Amino acid sequence: MVPTILIIDDEQHLCWALERAMQQEGYHVLSTTSPSKGLELIREEQPSLVILDLKMPEMDGMDVLRKAREMQPKIPVVILTAHGTIETAIEAMKIGAADYITKPFDLDELKMVIKQNLVITQLATEVSFLRSELTKRYSKLVGKSPAIQEVVKLIDRVAASDATVLITGESGTGKEVAAVAIHQNSPRRDGPFIAINCAALPEHLLESELFGHEKGAFTGATARKLGRFELADRGTIFLDEITEMSLSMQAKLLRVLQEMSFERVGGTETIHVDVRIIAATNRNLTEAIEKGIFREDLYYRLNVFQIHLPPLRERKEDIPLLANHFLERFRPKYLVNKISPAAMELLCSYHWPGNIRELQNVIERAAIICQGNEILPEHLPKELLHTPPNEKELVIHFPDEGISLEQVEKELIIKALQKSGGNQTRAAQLLGITRSALLYRAQKYGIITS
């Protein structure tokens, strides 16, 4: 679409000259010598950019600028000013003007300023669109199971605060989706969301990525680089796989969490930032601390508000919703409309070691293979078609306070005997032990008497 430029200047000959010059550049141009008419055109035509004279008899340019920004907050306004009013032009930029040009001006300079501001506006529009699409795609946790609804409640509660959040869960459970949901529902939603995978970079590169570096800080540092923390200022930074960070980097991160300040690599200037921290890991942090690979003080600094994402095998009632969610996403590309009942039954019976990410990949693969409009069992990977009994995963809910191994064994024997109707031989088969071993353990726990 051809950009529209609006010229508001009380000098008629200047309006004509600028209008002709801008038309030669390929722009659609509107012009007026009346500030009130100019405001009317801004409201009705919604131009891409405004060229505005500061000194006009009918209405002061500053007043026009304020009213224009009220109508279109993101419209770029280039101020035309005489040498004696540069201070006023600078003041205009403080309240929202994009740039200013002093009269008499160089036409090529004005063309360059206009071009640059139109490019910036276009990029801002594209970023806004991409952010909107990102929000639609990644900020919604799909599911109706009690487990995922509890996660949604926790996200709603913590989002409004600035508390540091620690998200735990197996790989592929949607930890980044949860982090985006927290950001998008927080007061920082209009700020940046910056994600970094701590496991993807070696230590020396991770430090530069997080905190930036100065020119010449190390071989290859040919220019200053802003780090992720600096880029995330007034927004949120998501530190994925936090347990893969080295101990020395953990110490540096701890200082940032405490002070919200840091120095770029090779620099001496202290940078202060306003950033919300969300960290995630697929490992047991308590075990990592015991093994000496994760700092206990950093754990307590991060673990202000913890959210655990359940694996997909513990929320199987959500599989049909997730499968259709992914199918809807892939439908424009692959033209597949539905999943057959038989295929859905296989999806629901599988144990999903790769969790939601694996399910997404399976749906896309099936959509690619499918020649019709319905995904059938034969379109699914072979591991979903036949799940041998010995490959079915036993789900054990392990309480935080721990559990007695003897109690678990006793409960299993009781359940096996109940399942077999008291038949000791069948109960032993269900447990994969001999009848004599079953009798020994059952007598040991007082389940049966000799």
Domain definitions of the chain by residue range? 4-128, 139-308, 312-391, 405-444
CATH 3.10.450.50 fits 4-128, yes or no: no
pLDDT at 155: 94
* pLDDT computed for residue 389 by the predictor: 45
Fold adopted by 312-391: Helicase, Ruva Protein; domain 3 (1.10.8)
Q: What is the pLDDT of residue 391?
A: 44
Find the range with the poorest average confidence among 25-39, 120-134, 422-436: 120-134
pLDDT at 420: 81
Class at the top of the CATH hierarchy for domain 139-308: alpha beta
- Give the pLDDT confidence of 165-182 residue by residue, as tens digits: 999 999 999 999 999 999
φ/ψ of 377, rounded to 5, equals -55, -35
Question: Mean pLDDT, to the nearest integer, of 375-386?
Answer: 88
Q: Do 139-308 and 4-128 fall under one CATH topology?
A: yes
CA distances from 346 to 23, 90, 373, 393 (A): 63, 66, 18, 15
In DSSP notation, 188-254 reads TTTS-EEEEETTSS-HHHHHHHHH-B-TTSSTT--S-B--HHHHTTTSEEEEESGGGS-HHHHHHHH
93, two tokens: 């930029």
pLDDT at 346: 93
Give pLDDT tens digits for 58-94: 888 889 999 998 898 889 999 888 765 667 777 888 8
* Higher-pLDDT residue of 104, 185: 185
What fold does the segment set 405-444 form as a domain?
A: Arc Repressor Mutant, subunit A (1.10.10)
pLDDT recorded at residue 398: 67
Per-residue pLDDT at 404: 78
What tens digit of pLDDT does each residue of 217-251 get? 888 888 888 899 999 999 999 999 999 999 999 99
In sequence order, which residues have a C-beta less than 8 Å from that of residue 78 and are 6 or more positions away? 49, 50, 51, 52, 97, 98, 99, 100, 101, 110, 113, 114, 117
pLDDT at position 392 is: 47
